[in-house]
Amino acid sequence: ERGRARYSGGGRAVQPGGASALRNFPSRPPSAAEDGRRLPNTAEQAPRACAVCVAAMAAAQAEAGGARSVMAGAAAMGDAGPVGPATAELGAAGPAADGAECGAGDAVVAEEPPAPPALPGLRLVQQGAEAHVYRGLFLGRAAVAKLRVPKRYRHPALEERLSRRRMAQEARSLLRCRRAGIPAPVVYFVDYVTNSIYLEDIVDSITVQDHIYSVQKSGNDTSGLRKLAEKMGELLARMHDEDIVHGDLTTANLLLRPPLEKLDLVLIDFGLSFISGLPEDKGVDLYVLEKAFISTHPDTEVMFQALLKSYAATSKKSGPVIKKLDEVRLRGRKRSMIG
Partner 1 sequence: MERTHRLELFPERSVTLLLFQHVKNAAALRKKAMEGSIEGALINPAMIVDPFQILVAANRAVHLQKIGKMKTRTLYAEIIFSLSPSNNISDAFKKFGISDSDTAVLIVLVMDGDKNINLADITSQVEGQQVSLDELPQLTDTAKVKKMYKVTPQEEKIGSLLDSVVCRMSTKDVL
Least Å from the CB of residue 180 to partner 1? 6
Nearer to partner 1, 122 or 328 (CB): 122
Angle at 193 between CA 187 and CA 199, to 5 degrees: 15
Contact flags string 209-238 toward partner 1, x per CB under 8 A: ------------------------------
- Residue 256 touching partner 1 (CB under 8 A): no
156 Rama sector, left if φ>0, alpha if ψ -120 to 50, beta otherwise: alpha
Residues 306-325 that bind partner 1 (CB under 8 A): none
Angle at 279 between CA 275 and CA 285, to 5 degrees: 65
Strands (E) in the chain, as ranges, are 123-127, 131-138, 141-148, 187-191, 196-200, 206-207, 244-245, 254-257, 264-267, 274-275
The answer to whether 87 and 79 are in contact (CB under 8 A) is no
Contact flags string 160-179 toward partner 1, x per CB under 8 A: --------x--xx-xx--xx
Output the CA–CA distances (angstroms, integers) from residue 276 to 91, 212, 273, 324, in the order listed.
58, 30, 9, 14
Nearer to partner 1, 103 or 117 (CB): 117
Least Å from the CB of residue 280 to partner 1? 25
Q: Is the link from the previous residue into 117 a cis peptide, with omega within 30 of 0?
A: no
Judged by CB under 8 A, which stretch of 3-11, 18-26, 184-192, 203-211 contacts partner 1?
184-192
Judged by CB under 8 A, which stretch of 42-50, 116-124, 315-323, 329-337 contacts partner 1?
116-124
DSSP string, 199-249: EE--TT-EEHHHHHHHHHHH---HHHHHHHHHHHHHHHHHHHHTTEE-S--
Judged by CB under 8 A, which stretch of 2-10, 11-19, 111-119, 290-298 contacts partner 1?
111-119
Contact flags string 121-150 toward partner 1, x per CB under 8 A: ---------------xxxxxx---------
Separation between Cα atoms, residue 20 and residue 39, nearest integer Å: 25
Least Å from the CB of residue 131 to partner 1? 17
* Site residue total, partner 1 (CB under 8 A): 30
Which are the catalytic amino acids? 248
- Residue 115 touching partner 1 (CB under 8 A): no
The amino acid at 35: D
Least Å from the CB of residue 177 to partner 1? 9
Q: What is the b/e burial string over 297-335, where b = at least 16 CB atoms within 10 angstroms of the residue's CB?
A: beebeebbebbbebbeebbeebeebbebbeebeeeeeee
- Residue 270 touching partner 1 (CB under 8 A): no
Q: Which listed residue (26, 120, 332, 339) binds partner 1 by CB under 8 A?
A: 120
Residues 185-204 that bind partner 1 (CB under 8 A): 186-193, 200
Residues near partner 1 (CB under 8 A): 117-120, 136-141, 168, 171-172, 174-175, 178-183, 186-193, 200
